[in-house]
Structure 1
Amino acid sequence: MLITSLLPLLSRYSLGFDLVAGPDGTVTLTVIPRKAVGAKSNPEAGEVRPISITATAAEIDEELAKGEDGALGQLIAVRKGLGDQIAEQRAAAEATKAPAKSKKAEPAKAAPAPAASSEPSAAPKPGEPTSLWDD
């Protein structure tokens, strides 16, 4: 059941395992995801964080027998989903960068000059007092 439970991770990562027997009859199983050989992108730190389960051997076997419905299967599904989202975001970010890089820098356009008005200026002529009732 262990390998079947880990197949979703194996499609994306190389996996390492660590088994440690505890003093009280427990076992700690640690699954360590790593970048797969030939992978195009580097996984994020959260994607390759080790997964540890500590329980009795029988409890671990029982949990693994649940497959995708067990805690390990659900955790793997969540990580796979997050990994897919990260890959999509990276692809979208690269897609937005590509058009910007391919366009040549266009010269800045000068601001248009204000249009000349046929109406008289509201500013008073030199020597004339300002009025509160100017139109």
Structure 2
Amino acid sequence: MLITTLLPLLARYSLGFDLVAGPDDTVTLTIIPRKVDGAADKLESGETRPISLTASAAEIDAELAKGEDGALGQLIAARKTLADQLAEQRQAAEAARTAAAEAAKTKATTPTPKPATTSAQVHAPASPPADAKAEEPASLW
């Protein structure tokens, strides 16, 4: 049951195991996800966090017998979902980088048009109107 439960993780990671006997007939099983040889993507720290179970050997066997419905199976399914989301985000980020690089390349090779000059220019009056009075503010009407 252990290998069947771990198949979703094995598709993405290489797994290491550590089995330690503890006091009162307890056992600690630690599953350590690692980067698969030849994988291009760097793993996030959350992806490589070990999964650790501490219980009696019978309890661990019973939990593993539950398969996908057990706590380990649910944890592995959640990790797989998160890993899939991370992979999608990496692909989207790479696509965005590529698109931005292409847009910058296109913009750099396309000459920028110069703004058109207008022949009509507005001149501000140099002197106040003839009927303006010094003690009154200027009016537009």
Fold match (TM-score > 0.5) = yes
**1:42-53 equivalence runs, <5 A:** 42-53=42-53
Q: Deviations over 1:70-109 (max 9, x none)?
A: 1111111111111110110110111111122234225555
CA distance in 1 between partners of 2:137 and 2:113 (Å) = 39
Q: Using a 3 Å threshold, how does the CA distance of structure 1 residues 131 and 87 change in structure 2: closer, same or farther?
A: same
SS in structure 1 at match of 2:24: coil
Count of equivalent residues? 132
Identity within the alignment, %: 61
Deviation at 1:39, TM superposition (A): 1.5
The structure with the larger Rg is 2
- CA separation in 1, counterparts of 2:29 and 2:37? 23
Q: CA deviation at 1:24?
A: 1.5
Post-superposition shift, 1:14? 0.5
Residue pairs, 1:33-72, within 5 angstroms: 33-72=33-72
Higher helix share: 2
Give me the TM-score of the superposition, normalised by structure 2. Answer: 0.80
Q: Residues 131 and 94 of structure 1: is their aligned pair in 2 closer, same or farther, counting only changes over 3 Å?
A: same
> Matched residues in 2 for 1:45 and 1:97: separation?
23
C-alpha separation in 1, matches of 2:21 and 2:138? 93
5+ long unaligned stretches in structure 1:
none
Corresponding position of 2:79: 79
Segments ≥4 residues shifted beyond 3 Å: 106-118, 124-133
Whole-angstrom distance in 2 between the partners of 1:87 and 1:38: 16
Distance in 2 (alpha carbons) for counterparts of 1:81 and 1:31: 18
Q: Find the aligned partners of 2:111 and 2:24 in 1 and give their Cα distance.
A: 74
Q: Does 1:32 align with 2:32?
A: yes
Provide the TM-score with structure 1 as the length reference.
Answer: 0.83
The one-letter code matched in structure 2 to 1:134 is L
In the aligned structure 1, how far is the partner of 2:21 from the partner of 2:32?
A: 17
Q: CA RMSD in A?
A: 2.5
Which structure 2 residue ranges, 5 or more long, are not aligned? none
